[in-house]
Amino acid sequence: MRAIAGRVIALLPILFGLSVLSFGLLAMVPGDPVTAMLGLEASPEAIATLRAKFALDEPLPLRFLAWFGNVLQGDLGRSIQTGRPVLEMVVTALGPTLLLAGAALLVSLAIALPAGIIAATRRNRPADFAVSLVALCGLSLPSFWLGILLILTLSIAWPIFPASGYAPLLSDPWTALRHLVLPAATLGVALAGASMRMTRSAMLEVLPADYIRTAHAKGLGPRRVVWRHALRNALIPIVTLVGIQLGQLLGGVVVTETVFAWPGIGKLVVDAIFARDYPVVQGAILVTATLFVLLNLMTDLICLALDPRQRGGA
Amino acid sequence: MTGDPRALLGLVLVAVVVAAALFGPLLWQVGPEVSDFMAPLSGPSAKHPLGTDDLGRDTLARMLAGARVSLMVGMGSVAGACLLGGAIGLVCGFLGGWTDRVLMRVMDVLLAFPGILLALGVTAALGASATNAAIAIGLVNLPVFARIARAQAQLVAAMDYVEAGRAIGRSPAAILRVHILPNAASPILVQASLLLASSIITESYLSFLGLGVQPPTPTWGNMLRDAVGFLDHSPWMAWFPGIAIFTTVLGFNLLGDGLRDRLDPRAARGA
């Protein structure tokens, strides 16, 4: 319990830092949101009213405190562009993002676990080299280009899947899945490279262990030894990997969403940047970064649960 | 390095790209911003080996000019982060105490953002340009270097020869320079190569969005941005810049991997 409490408390300064940075970044923006909204010919009175409405004339630290106080109460402000509450917009966008991230994680693990295990069990043989090379190529592939290539082949040359758009999963599952295939494949393949490498090295740590030799000596088949004994012990680094991946997914999702016009958090941020809609940029960045931190915490805690050895020392 | 085919391949790829960036524009003397109005959106031909874009600009010339921009932004962001982050890490690891706690907390905050998102936020704040893209990506790279340098400094600071250095009256600055810096250099070098790879991807992505290097200056990223509008008519516009990014990034990844295995024998494949 104390280990858990310690980790949670250590997060508080980080979360505060995230807030300062999210606020600070957008407070130093050169362009003026009010001019952007009203146009250059706006009357001075209209500008003054609007500046007062968003409290743009207050000193920076005061604006931060007011903003931070509201954030703590779950109020991220209102969008300059649409007038809707930022929190509502972010939560709406979070659904498609999580759907895409989850699907991509499945794709990535479905490729990476078998490939990583094959590479580790056939260490330094052709299969291992092939997997390592493919993994490195995957790491080097810019995911937005991969997305463009998939659009070129699977929705333009052979129009099988739609190139962009989104449908809610519950109301129209078939259309939703068809729209999900290309973005999930893009993101999943892009992530698979890193996961293959981690699975391989995690398995390599475990395979020389005594209990593996014992399992072999007991006469268990190689398949059973690998999947039941070795994989289970390699699980801790792999869970860490999934956690890290979910974090990277949150970044990768931004890229993929803009290519496929997927209405998630990434597209929300990018659109808001172009519209100079600062409260939305701030809110979306803050929520995503907070989620990222919480995911890392969860990963830590799961590892703690999986590995009794870590509990005493922490 | 000759013993490792991966590092060698990486070195060759990187050398080819760097050579193309340095000498390409001298050999292929077509202006990257010059339009051939007779041949917009044309496929590869003798006159335009990689085709032209929607304004009739030569793709090969733009790729070569783009190589310069992409490499400069990538290298700038890594070099800046390496110097500043390395310095922060060495000081933190060596001094410890409050300096260490405060500075590393700040680094933790930077690490707490998904990299792309931080880069987007910074470019949104500073405005879209090549310099700002380099600053944004540098800020993403900064904590990585700080952490590595700090870990190395802590590791080395506990060694007997550092104690001996202290005993013979070396100043902290001299100990940093003589003992700690040389030991921290190799992991930092490995990381620099790997981060160059990811930085080039991030730069191309920012440019792809229109938040990086601004047109008409060509980069691989904004060439891909142009290509997206003509995917069904001129798919080759999307092939070549992507291949360039992929090749460059693969080169730096191979090189970084190879260097790591070479410098850290425990991680070597043959061990």
What is the pLDDT, as a whole number, of residue A254? 83
Q: Do A254 and B126 touch (CB under 8 A)?
A: no
At A33, the pLDDT band (50, 70, 90 cuts) reads low
Q: What are the extents of the domains in chain A?
A: 2-72, 89-310
Average pLDDT over residues A109-113: 86
Q: Which of A30, A137, A288 sits opposite B127 (nearest CB)?
A: A30
What is the pLDDT, as a whole number, of residue B78? 94
Average pLDDT over residues A262-283: 86
Q: Do B109 and A151 touch (CB under 8 A)?
A: no
Q: Taking 70 as the threshold, does the pLDDT of residue A279 lie above it?
A: yes
Touching A: B residues 2-31, CB under 8 Å: 6
Asked whether the bond before B114 is cis by omega within 30 degrees of 0, the reply is no
What is the pLDDT, as a whole number, of residue A309? 65
Average pLDDT over residues A196-222: 76
For B64, the token pair is 């070569």
3-state secondary structure at position A38: helix
Q: Which residue of A has its CA nearest to B234?
A: A152
Q: Taking 80 as the threshold, does the pLDDT of residue B176 lie above it?
A: no
* Contacts (Cβ under 8 Å, ≥6 apart) of A91: none
ipTM of the complex in this document: 0.82
B22 vs B244 pLDDT, higher one = B244
* Contacts (Cβ under 8 Å, ≥6 apart) of B65: B25, B32, B217, B218
What is the pLDDT, as a whole number, of residue A113? 83
Distances from the Cα of B200 to the Cα of A87, A233, B74, B194, angstroms: 33, 36, 5, 10
**Packed helices B115-126 and A2-27: angle between N→C axes, nearest 10 degrees:** 30
DSSP tag of B37 = T
Q: Taking 80 as the threshold, does the pLDDT of residue A230 lie above it?
A: no
Which of A96-110, B1-15, B146-160 has the highest mean predicted lDDT (pLDDT)? A96-110
Q: Does B108 touch chain A (CB under 8 A)?
A: yes
Q: Which of A191, A198, A208 is nearest to A237 (CA)?
A: A198
Q: Taking 50 as the threshold, does the pLDDT of residue A314 lie above it?
A: no
Q: Do A250 and B114 touch (CB under 8 A)?
A: yes
Q: pLDDT per residue over B238-266, tens digit each?
A: 888 899 999 999 999 988 888 887 776 55
Q: Which residues of B touch A269 (CB under 8 A)?
A: 117, 120
At B270, the pLDDT band (50, 70, 90 cuts) reads very low
Q: How far apart are the first and last CA of chain A?
A: 10
Average pLDDT over residues B151-174: 79
From the number of C-beta atoms within 10 Å of its C-beta (0-12, 13-18, 19+), residue B140 rates as buried
Touching A: B residues 225-254, CB under 8 Å: 227-228, 231-232, 235, 238, 241-242, 245-246, 249-250, 253-254
Q: Which of A57-61, A254-258, B129-133 has the lowest mean pLDDT?
A: A57-61
Q: Which residue of B has its CA nearest to A277?
A: B124
User: Can you identify the CATH homologous superfamily of domain A89-310?
Assistant: MetI-like (1.10.3720.10)
Q: Which of B109, B116, B125 sits opposite A18 (nearest CB)?
A: B109
Average pLDDT over residues A237-262: 78
Mean pLDDT for chain B?
A: 82
Q: pLDDT per residue over A9-18, tens digit each?
A: 878 888 888 8
Q: Which residue of B has its CA nearest to A260?
A: B228
In chain A, which residue ranges form alpha helices assigned H by DSSP?
2-27, 33-38, 44-53, 60-72, 86-121, 126-140, 143-151, 173-206, 210-217, 222-224, 231-233, 235-260, 265-274, 278-306, 309-313
Q: Do A140 and B253 touch (CB under 8 A)?
A: yes
CA B141 to chain centre: 9
Look at phi and psi of residue B56 and say left if phi exceeds 0, alpha if psi is from -120 to 50, else beta: left
Asked if B133 and B214 touch (Cβ cutoff 8 Å), the reply is no
**Packed helices A278-306 and B115-126: angle between N→C axes, nearest 10 degrees:** 160
CA B155 to chain centre: 27
